[in-house]
């Protein structure tokens, strides 16, 4: 096999829970609860007191000042298929949302295919306008308004705008176990890829986006590569985020990619370094998986961090902490979790002169973050508020928690809410 792992991204393999450092200077405070299978929390860019909670079955709920409002922001339950890994999976507000009212959702339609749809808010800033729905089209004006999914799992589903103002769409390999159709390494397939598109187009635009001219495969790369593709080689990117330059971050894209049977991985991409191949299905993390076909191109980029099944079974990507409520030692650390084991970790990111990262100082926070009435349970997502403070989304508990400090600086006076 001619494939190599690019230098600079060093895999930090975790073999046992005994390798972890214990910390107890963090705890959690309840923000809101009563949700059904929540999969995301997204800050309202126009009102610091408001967040939106995405429920897998199709509702987007409004939380204002920690109180769940009775009226939904949007209800798509009649337009989606939900259950397993399907459902309403992602929400992102455009950079121009304060003036345009545009936001985007990712869901699986009634046939199980991925739809990325644009909506507008209504005159009521806490209620969307369902009639404004426009589904992005993926093969020209007469092409399908969805991305076909061959199986029911590995839909990806997350959406996020980068510091560059473009929409990043993470797609899984289409499922089926082991990427049997090798989508993640097929240039003509959008599956198993990170897409990057410019959605700042007129509302009359027939497809709803344009390909940024500096996308890496617009004029180069393997034959038949779709120009929307930003990066290759993902199995099922379940939550990714950017280290925000607005808060002193690097602008890096950090992806939690769910493994097949032995490895969970975190991929680190310095700002603007598109065109990378993260290796699936030729590799699972740093380990060979299925090398029966050559990858689309090399080198294959190693994860900045991986762990095996003694530690967890399904990674949930998180955020680099850039807030102020936690002790200064946590600023610049990446918080993430494991969906199946209900564990939360953070790790440091040491950068070299080229902006490439090495993982350092892995720390487990699970015991410290246990809630008074029981374990954290299944963790489906993380989020950040207007100040960069971190939310935890409890898929099974239906609760949204905040990570706060047990010592100064801590949360603002009067912030803490009681648990039921």
What's the rounded mean pLDDT across residues 80-92?
A: 98
Per-position b or e across 371-402, b if 16+ CB within 10 A of its CB = beeebbebbbbbbbbeebbbbbbbbebbbbbb
pLDDT above 60 (res 267): yes
Q: Residue 359: in which H helix or E strand, if any?
A: strand 357-364
Q: For position 420, what pLDDT does the model report? A: 66
Both structure tokens of 327: 């002790």
Share of the chain above pLDDT 90, in %: 89
Q: For position 17, what pLDDT does the model report? A: 39
For the stretch 352-364, pLDDT in tens is: 999 999 999 999 9
Ordered by where they begin, the domains of the chain are: 13-405 (2.120.10.30)
pLDDT above 50 (res 2): no
- Which residue has better confidence, 69 or 24? 69
Both structure tokens of 28: 């959690």
Q: In which band, very low, low, confident or very high, does the pLDDT at 417 lie, cut at 50, 70 and 90?
A: low
Q: For position 206, what pLDDT does the model report? A: 98
Q: For position 18, what pLDDT does the model report? A: 38
Measure CA 397 to chain center: 20
Distance CA(416)–CA(94), nearest Å, equals 31
Q: In which band, very low, low, confident or very high, does the pLDDT at 410 lie, cut at 50, 70 and 90?
A: confident
Q: What's the distance, Cα to Cα, between the start and end of the chain in Å?
A: 56
What's the rounded mean pLDDT across residues 115-131?
A: 98
Both structure tokens of 244: 């925000």
For the stretch 318-332, pLDDT in tens is: 999 999 999 999 999
Torsion, Cα 378 384 390 394, to 10 degrees, reads -20
Q: In which band, very low, low, confident or very high, does the pLDDT at 7 lie, cut at 50, 70 and 90?
A: very low
pLDDT above 60 (res 58): yes
Share of the chain above pLDDT 70, in %: 93
pLDDT above 80 (res 13): no
For residue 400, the cross-strand partners are: 32, 393
Q: In which band, very low, low, confident or very high, does the pLDDT at 1 lie, cut at 50, 70 and 90?
A: very low
Is 0.75 surpassed by the pTM of this model?
yes
């Amino acid at each position: 096999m001619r494939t190599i792992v690019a230098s600079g991204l060093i895999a930090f393999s975790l073999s046992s829970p005994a390798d972890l450092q214990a910390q107890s200077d963090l705890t959690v405070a309840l923000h809101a609860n009563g949700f059904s299978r929540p999969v995301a929390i997204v800050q309202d860019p126009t009102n610091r007191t408001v967040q939106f909670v995405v429920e897998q079955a199709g509702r987007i709920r409004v939380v204002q000042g920690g109180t769940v409002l009775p009226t939904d922001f949007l209800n798509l339950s009649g337009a989606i298929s939900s259950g397993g890994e399907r459902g309403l999976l992602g929400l992102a507000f455009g950079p121009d949302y304060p003036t345009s009212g545009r936001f985007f959702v990712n869901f699986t339609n009634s046939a199980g295919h991925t739809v990325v749809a644009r909506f507008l808010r209504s005159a009521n800033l806490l209620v969307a306008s369902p009639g404004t729905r426009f589904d992005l089209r993926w093969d020209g004006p007469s092409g399908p308004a969805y991305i076909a999914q061959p199986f029911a799992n590995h839909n990806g589903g997350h959406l996020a705008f980068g510091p560059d103002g473009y929409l990043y769409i993470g797609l899984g390999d289409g499922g089926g176990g082991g990427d049997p159709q090798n989508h993640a390494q097929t240039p003509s397939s959008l599956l198993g890829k990170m897409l990057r598109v410019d959605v700042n187009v007129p509302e009359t635009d027939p497809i709803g986006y344009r390909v940024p001219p500096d996308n890496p495969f617009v004029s180069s790369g393997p034959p038949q590569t779709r120009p929307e593709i930003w990066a290759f080689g993902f199995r099922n990117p379940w939550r990714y985020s950017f280290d925000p330059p607005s808060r002193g971050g690097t602008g890096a894209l950090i992806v939690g990619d769910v493994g097949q049977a032995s490895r969970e991985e975190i991929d680190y991409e310095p700002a603007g370094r598109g065109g990378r191949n993260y290796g699936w299905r030729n590799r699972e993390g740093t380990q060979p998986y299925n090398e029966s076909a050559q990858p689309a191109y090399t080198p294959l980029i190693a994860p900045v961090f991986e762990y095996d099944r003694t530690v967890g079974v399904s990674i949930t990507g998180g955020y680099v902490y850039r807030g102020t409520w936690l002790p200064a030692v946590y600023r610049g650390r990446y918080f993430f979790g494991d969906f199946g084991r209900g564990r939360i970790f953070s790790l440091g990111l040491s950068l070299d002169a080229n902006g490439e990262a090495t993982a350092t100082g892995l720390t487990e926070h699970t015991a410290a973050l246990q809630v008074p009435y029981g374990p954290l349970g299944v963790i489906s997502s993380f989020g950040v508020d207007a100040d960069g403070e971190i939310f935890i989304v409890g898929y099974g508990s239906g609760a949204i928690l905040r990570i706060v400090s047990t010592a100064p600086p801590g949360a603002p006076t009067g912030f803490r809410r009681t648990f039921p």
